[in-house]
Structure 1
Amino acid sequence: MQKSLLIALIITVIGAVAIHQFGTALPAYAAFVLGAVLVAIALTVVSNQPSSASNAKYSGPTKTLYVGNLPYRVHENEVKALFAKFGPVNSVRLVRDRKTGRRKGFGFVEMSDTGADKALDKLNDYTFQERTLKVREARTQESSGDRD
């Protein structure tokens, strides 16, 4: 919210200067008020648009995918954007070391069932930020204990 307020203020000042320069009969304070009104209208129109589908929580059947060999500096939003190409993503959880707080290079993506199948097919062995991803269907905690 603060970022959009700062952008609105900057646009208002620039608009006021432009209106004052090109509309010489208009005093500076009136140009500022006119710019503020125009920005308020623009922000109202933008904020009333429906939010994108990527922000909506998918409520159908989901799968959780294990994603390995992630770049250590990758952010959740970047991983979400990558997987969102294949279907709605509910959550991305990148695992961190408890002591250092650094990412461990793997994580989990919860997404629609059909999207997960497509992502698994397309993104396993996919090169992402100079790393080759390993994508698998995540095992439940009960079944992960019986590794041989």
Structure 2
Amino acid sequence: MTSANIRSSFGYVQFENVEQAKAAIEAKHETQFEGRRMIVNYMAKRTNTGARNPPAKTLFIGNLAFEMSDKDLNNLFRDVRNVVDVRVAIDRRTGQPRGFAHADFTDMESAVKGFEALNGKEVYGRTLRLDYSSDAREPRRPRSDSD
């Protein structure tokens, strides 16, 4: 093992070779750590090309710092117009924030402007990860290997 970057509820471990990684997955996947079940697998490579879903009236805002307060969240949206509601996801078991939120806008144009205003912003040393939320009433677009 060469390095480990651990963040609140997840972490990345880099191994010297694939065999070490495979052995770690086989040994630790689905085991308990401090009362929580671990999911151990290979990291999926992703490229940050902006939104992955087509524009919608709801934004997904990920990679929120767990220490963000309501005041911090209000400040984040201070200059964003036509926001109807912002919902921070809360873990039902612990009552703690899960690190992401959804923001509803009055219309799609406002959501696109909100995306542009928030995309790439850094809060508490964490770069926000944005996407448009898919509408539950419409079928999701299939993702291709190039996504």
TM (norm. structure 2) is 0.50
Higher helix share: 1
Q: Larger C-alpha radius of gyration, 1 or 2? A: 1
Q: Which has the higher contact order (CA 8 A, sep 6+)?
A: 2
TM (norm. structure 1) is 0.49
Higher strand share: 2
